[in-house]
Amino acid sequence: MTKKQILLSLTTLPLVLNAEVTLDTIEVNAQKHSDEVYQKEGYMKDAPMQKQLTAKQALEIAGTNGDPIKALKSFAGIVSTNNDDASELYVHGSKPRETRFTINHLPIGYLFHLGGLHSVIAPEMTGQIDAYLGGFDVTYGA
């Protein structure tokens, strides 16, 4: 049996600091974001990769089982994974972590409970579903 020795070498590095750097002030101005643009007639109709459904229309789609959010699974370009570990939606070639779900423009983490039987949004609380399946603008991030 041989013994192994561990040697630690400590080295001191002399550092010389230069004088401080002063940067110019940058002023950023913005206008308040308005949701009116999303409520204009034709906003969703003009974009072929965007779909809009009312909750009533969503419930008429086969397989929703009283959950209007499940209507998303019927759109072309959306594939769902329903297994014991997770229920995620793959949208138009993206990964699930690259897809954002929002309620009134506020992000939510997951759209479905474990296994995908029910969505995290109560059917009574769903008024309209807007699905952006590709070609979305910079409003929704990079």
Q: Where are the alpha helices (DSSP H) in the chain?
A: 36-39, 55-59
pLDDT digits (tens, 9 = 90+) for 76-125: 888 877 665 567 788 877 777 777 888 887 888 778 876 677 888 888 88
The pTM (predicted TM-score) of the whole model is 0.56
How far apart, in whole angstroms, are the C-alpha atoms of residue 63 and residue 99? 22
In angstroms, what CA-CA distances link 19 with 14, 16, 22, 26? 16, 10, 10, 22
pLDDT digits (tens, 9 = 90+) for 15-24: 887 778 888 9
How far apart, in whole angstroms, are the C-alpha atoms of residue 12 and residue 138? 49
44: buried, middle or exposed (CB in 10 Å: 19+, 13-18, 0-12)?
middle
